[in-house]
Structures are given as C-alpha cells and as structure tokens.
Amino acid sequence: MRNEQRFALCFFVLAFVSVAAVSVAAQVPPPTQPLSVKLIKNDVYWTQGGGTGFAGGNTGFVVGKDGVIVFDAKMTPDAAKDMLAAIAKITPKPVTTVVLSHSDADHVNGLAAFPAGLTIIAQENCKREMEESKGSPNAAPQDHLPTKTFDKELNMTINGVRIQFLHWAPAHTSGDLVMFLPDDKIVFGGDMVDLTQFGYVHAQKGGTTTGWIETVKGIVALNADTFVSGHGGLETKASLKTRLAAVEARRAKIEQMVAAGKSLQEIKATAGPEEPQSGPFGSPGFTEVVYNELKKKS
C-alpha cells in the first residue's frame, strides 16, 4: 500500500472513531423509527417511534366507551401527530385524557401537538418539574401543564375504564407515575419499567435509588402480567424481578465499598458493561448516584 493510501486510510479511521466517540458522549438520539402501533389486548395499545429524529419514549392508549386515554406524549409534536393520526385510524372517538409518567422531555414535549381542553393527569411533583423547566432547553409546553394531580394514589374510571394511578417514592424522578389497568392486568410504567437502563435515576430531579427499589417492588406486587416499558419492549413480572435483584445487589456492593473507604473511581471500575456511566439529560450513572447518596448521609 502506498504512503498516500496509508495516510488516507488512517485519516478515515481516526475521523470515524472521533465522530463515534463524540456521538456517544453527546447521547445522540437513535435514527428515526417509523411509528409502530401494537395491540396488547382488548382495546389497549402501545406505540414506539414516530415523527422524524428522536421520537421519545414509548406511549400507550386505551380506547374507552366515549373517548381515548393516552399514556405519555412523545418527544416532539411531529411524533405526537403521528400517534394521534394512528389513533384516529383505529377509532373515531376523541382523545379526552393524557397521562404523564414523569416530566422528562422525551415523554411530555409532544403535548404541544394535542388539542386544548384535555384532562392531563400527573403526579404532583411532575407538574412542579414541568413548571420549573420554563425557559430551559427542552422546556415542557407551558400551555399543556397537568390539570389533575395526586400524591400517592388515584383511582378513577375514565371513559368506562377502571384505572389506578400510583406513586411510591422519588425514584427515576421525584414525580413518577405508574398506570395500572386492573381489568386487563396491564401496567404502563414509563422509565420505571425501562429495563434497558440499570436503575437509571435523575438525581437532579429528586430521584433516588432507594425510591427506585421501593417503586419497582410496588410494581412487581401488582396483579399484572404485562408491563409496558418507557424504552424497549413489553416486560414480564419475571424480568422485572431479575432487574430488581441485580439493582439491589449492586447497591449493596457499592454501600460496602463506600464503607471501606473506596473512591468513586475505584467503585466505578467494578461496574459491569450494562451499567452506563452516564445518560441523557445530564444524569450520572447508577454507581455515582448511589455513591453521592451514601456520602451525603455520612
């Protein structure tokens, strides 16, 4: 191979590696995923993708007697419009209610595409976080704030559908909500059922690892057999229990190492490949969140 060719090849490889590294560090969203709508059972659906660019988290919707209940609103109005168009193909009934799992932009910012006058249900801390995001990058739509909030539990019948809304403790954020459909044994868990992440916690939004564990224990205790994740696929009670056990074991190990005087870097070095060091929205990884929690107590 001639020197010029060697130089060109080396330049290409270095450029590719550099771009890849920057992309990972910046948490570049995945490529566009066309909207997919899948029936779980009866009139309960879940969706992935939509719009152009990053669609945001998974969503769900339930077709009731007089209207449609939507769970989470996607990242962008573009993606939300795709979802609303898909709902209109399934039923002529109007969307009457939107339920928010938490305040992250990839679950609420699509609200801007929804009509005015809807009932928007959220845990009370979620509403506060959305209000406090005003003026910041990826701020929540301030004209689509929650209209109905609760603290720990809210039981309602909406459009003939029995629904239980639950919040156990500050976990992924301070205002996580789980939607349980007892008649269908289905749970929409948002990022609390996101098994692609290792106990992912937004400490900057008041989330805690102890609250994460408490919340997942509460979810597992529900009489449900299908759990819709915030990112990823459908989960089972068995898969949730496996992840919960792994998170509890990891937290206990970190606690032992902190007690032994190990540094954060030493503890991070013991993390497996499935535990990311950081995530989107500026959150540190699980190990660092636990470490900071424990050091704050000491």
CATH class of the structural domain 26-237: alpha beta
pLDDT digits (tens, 9 = 90+) for 28-79: 445 568 999 999 999 999 999 999 888 899 999 999 999 999 999 999 999 9
For the chain, residues with pLDDT lower than 70 are 1-32, 195-197, 279-280
CA distance readout (Å), 221 to 69, 185, 215, 217: 24, 12, 10, 6
Report the side by side order of strands in the sheet with 44-48.
36-41, 44-48, 59-63, 68-71, 95-99, 119-123, 148-150
What residue segments make up the domains of the chain, in order of their start?
Answer: 26-237
Residue 52's pLDDT is 85
Residue 276's pLDDT is 78
Residue 280's pLDDT is 65
Residue 282's pLDDT is 73
- pTM (predicted TM-score): 0.88
Helices marked H in 46-108 — which ranges?
77-90, 105-108
CA-based nearest residue to 103, from 146, 63, 66: 146
| DSSP state, residue 278 | B
Residue 17's pLDDT is 34
Residue 197's pLDDT is 64
